């Protein structure tokens, strides 16, 4: 490439050669994902799954948050709530669907919890400066954190995904790595102290941003052990340069507010031009309860983003897409179907991201670099080279103004209502 890097596409390709390209996900991961904290038991999951069919709404993945475990011990199942997790996963798979469970890096300090106890005896936890296992608080209470900077720890973690170790799992189960900044509820800035010690004597201050990266690397290795020659699917909260080789990323705990719907587009554009191509925001907002207009507009916008998941906090009202009556149910159904209608195109864009390092979701200036009017636009985006998407992000909007760039080099454009 020349001095300017061969234009925006050339810069993206150069950066991808440096840090790696987007992993090519399995096709199901490009569909719609249904999640909340939490689907309470097996009957709840089966009812939600059946309602998608009853209401003729396509979806591909059902997610379980932390409450499905035994006291938030990851890689366990509360058998009172989920007596047959293998059967549940196989039933979903019989209809072409998958399941995702949440697995965080903090392990409950419990001698009767094998994942924790084995790691403790092997010396696999992040250490204090005095040489003891670091303990802090997260969802399970007192916990320790695996030191994923160690290759031995990553190998140990990968082996946990085998069905002989993760009892209740099947080949149809995929993974959500959350709280991996890492989040420590009673730590400074809700994370680890900077002088904690990692593999090789490295202090946490020097590798903080790499912690989540190495966790997803290890999880991806676990998926490869579980499903040789099959593609992984992992969602991660934390990320670093190169995390696109292992995991999708979402924008975190947003709110059911119009401002947060509007903020999703510039946030996802920033992630995309930084190489994190498989990205999305929680549909409807994680906190609080969206009104029907906001929820419909969010589905309509998110249907054109790379990662498409509905998610909600445990204290919110249920918001499965059929619960709001007409015309809202039909509008959400149309948004879901619009997503599935573009899957061949979207899959092609993922292939280009994987092989050429090109973003899936692009700022307008990337496709129209000679049109200076596009340089400041972050309320609309290009999905690949062919689709311009301008989400409606204001309550009660009956019209919208969309800037249509000129395809002619150096040309202008005109606003179109």
pLDDT (tens digit per residue) in 298-308: 999 999 999 99
Helices 328-341, 343-356: inter-axial angle, 10-degree rounding = 50
Helical H runs in 319-412?
328-341, 343-356, 364-367
| Span 187-205, average pLDDT | 99
Nearest to 314 by CA among 10, 130, 64: 64
User: Is the pLDDT score of 260 beyond 90?
Assistant: yes
pLDDT tens sequence across 378-394: 999 999 999 999 999 99
* Residues belonging to the chain: 417
Instruction: Give CA separation, 124 vs 102, 145, 190, in Å.
Output: 21, 8, 22
**Could you give the residue ranges of the DSSP H alpha helices within 102-210?**
114-122, 151-159
Residue 139 reports pLDDT greater than 70: yes
pLDDT tier at 5 (50, 70, 90 boundaries)? low
Domains parsed from the chain with CATH numbers? 20-370 (3.20.20.80)
Q: Is 54 a catalytic residue?
A: no
State pTM to two decimals: 0.96
Asked if 233 and 248 count as a contact pair (C-beta separation under 8 A), the reply is: yes
Residue 351 CA to residue 357 CA, distance in Å, equals: 9
Phi and psi of 97, rounded to 5°? -115, 160
Distance, in Å, from the CA atom of 98 to the CA atom of 384, rounded to the nearest integer, reads 27
Q: Among all chains, which residue has been given the structure tokens 């509008």?
A: 331
Residue 1, pLDDT > 60, answer no
| C-alpha distance across the termini of the chain, in Å | 39
* Residue 178 designated active-site: yes
Q: What are phi and psi of 78, to 5 degrees?
A: -75, 105
Q: Residue 399 corresponds to which tokens in the numbers above?
A: 């019209």
Task: Please report, for residues 8, 210, 262, 286, the alpha-carbon distance to residue 280 in angstroms, rounded to integers and kept in the order given.
Answer: 22, 21, 13, 13
Portion of the chain with pLDDT greater than 90, in percent = 96
Count the alpha carbons within 13 Å of 179 in the hemisphere toward its beta carbon.
22
Over the stretch 42-94, which tens digit does the pLDDT of each residue have? 999 999 999 999 999 999 999 999 999 999 999 999 999 999 999 999 999 99
**Which of 266, 325, 350 minimizes the C-alpha distance to 301?**
266
Q: What one-character-per-residue DSSP string does 188-245 give? A: GGGS--TT-EEGGGEEGGGTGGGHHHHHHHHHHHHHHHHSTTS---EEES---TTGGG
Residues 189, 253, 291, 372: which is the catalytic one?
253
Backbone angles phi, psi at 114, to 5 degrees: -60, -40
Residue 356's nearest CA partner among 26, 25, 20 is 20
Is there a catalytic annotation at residue 86?
no
- Cβ atoms 214, 148 nearer than 8 A: yes
Per-residue pLDDT tens digits for 177-188: 999 999 999 999
Mean pLDDT score across all residues of the chain: 96
Stretch (H or E) spanning 306: none
Q: Which of 110, 181, 320, 371 is catalytic?
A: 181
* Given 60, 65, 104, 178, the catalytic residue: 178
């Amino acid at each position: 490439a020349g001095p300017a890097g061969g234009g925006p596409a050339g810069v993206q390709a150069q950066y991808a050669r440096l840090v790696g390209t987007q992993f090519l996900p399995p096709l199901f991961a490009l569909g719609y994902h249904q999640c909340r904290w939490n689907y309470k038991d097996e009957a709840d999951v089966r009812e939600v799954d059946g309602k998608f069919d009853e209401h003729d709404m396509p979806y591909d993945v059902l997610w379980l948050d932390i409450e499905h475990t035994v006291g938030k011990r990851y890689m366990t199942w509360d058998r009172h709530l989920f007596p047959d997790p293998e059967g549940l996963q196989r039933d979903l798979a019989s209809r072409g669907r998958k399941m995702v469970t949440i697995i965080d890096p903090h392990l409950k300090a419990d001698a009767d919890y094998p994942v924790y106890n084995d790691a403790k005896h092997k010396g696999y936890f992040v250490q204090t400066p005095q040489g003891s296992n670091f303990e802090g608080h997260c969802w399970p209470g007192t916990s320790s954190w695996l030191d994923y900077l160690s290759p031995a720890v990553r190998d140990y973690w990968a082996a946990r995904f085998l069905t002989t170790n993760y009892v209740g799992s099947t080949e149809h189960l995929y993974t959500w790595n959350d709280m991996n900044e890492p989040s420590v509820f009673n730590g400074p800035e809700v994370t680890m102290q900077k002088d904690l010690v990692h593999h090789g004597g490295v202090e946490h201050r020097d590798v903080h941003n790499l912690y989540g990266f190495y966790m997803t690397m290890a999880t991806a290795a676990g998926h490869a052990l579980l499903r040789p020659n099959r593609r992984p699917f992992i969602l991660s909260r934390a990320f670093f340069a190169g995390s696109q080789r292992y995991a999708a990323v979402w924008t975190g705990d947003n709110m059911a507010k119009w401002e947060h719907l509007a903020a999703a587009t510039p946030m996802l554009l920033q992630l995309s031009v930084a190489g994190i191509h498989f990205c999305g925001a929680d549909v409807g907002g994680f906190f609080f309860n969206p009104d029907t207009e906001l929820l419909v507009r969010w589905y309509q916008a998110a249907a054109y983003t790379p990662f498409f998941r509905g998610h909600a906090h445990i204290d919110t009202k249920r918001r499965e897409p059929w619960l709001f009556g007409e015309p809202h149910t039909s509008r959400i159904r149309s948004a879901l179907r619009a997503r599935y209608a573009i899957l061949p195109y979207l899959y092609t864009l993922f292939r280009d991201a994987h092989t050429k390092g090109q973003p899936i979701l692009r700022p307008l200036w990337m496709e129209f670099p000679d049109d200076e009017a596009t340089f400041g636009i972050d309320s609309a985006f290009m999905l690949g080279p062919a689709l311009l998407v301008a989400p409606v992000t204001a309550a009660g909007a009956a019209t919208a103004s969309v800037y249509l760039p000129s395809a002619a080099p150096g040309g202008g454009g005109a606003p179109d209502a």
